[in-house]
Structure 1
Amino acid sequence: MTKLAYAMVFVSDMKRSIAFYRDLLGLPLKFESPGWTEFATEGTTLALHKASAPNADSDAARNPAGRCRLGLHVPSLDALHQKMTAHGVRCVQPPTMQDFGARLSIYADPDGLPITFAESR
């Protein structure tokens, strides 16, 4: 069976992005370098790769074809929302019950990448 090994996020500022993913989201740092950083996330690696160009379309509310989005589980969306807004992270969608029965929220990372969060069940 094929297994998802890693997801890669292209970033403009490695140090700023490491601080966001490690310090704010609490992802455990696995490897760090100026152009490539990895976080261990229970069976899959989240990798940050230094971008070669700025983000041309950083509208986090759009969902165009050909894009993907990270989705992370957290124990409490309300606690996450308080933490993210206290640190000035842009909230794209506050904690909201979806029609498919899950409660989700969306925040933009330092480069505008939308990340969806769901409460762990």
Structure 2
Amino acid sequence: MVIHYVRDMERACAFYRDTLGLPEEPTPGSGSSGWNTFRCDGLIVALHILPPGDSAEGPLPHAGLNLQVDDLDSAIAEVRAAGGTVRAVQEAGGGVPVRVAEVTDPDGNGFELRQHVG
């Protein structure tokens, strides 16, 4: 899954759906004002509203590799054991049914691990 953070969900959905022709792909939590997903060949492209507190000025620095895991706590332990780091963990809540860990590999390359809950 590739996630792009956006400022305006309606505009972004229109761009990916109408301009690029990507079909909407329902996933847990999608179809809300904060999360929508599209299929691009075998890949899911997810649009996520800009997180609270992030600046809306300039280009958005949020895009990258997001891996779905069944057990976030176990995956975090494996990342640490292999020399990676965990920068932050966001618990599910506020209508968002996903726990997210921002992690890095041993070389400092960042990515996210995501576990759908409930």
TM-score by length of 1: 0.42
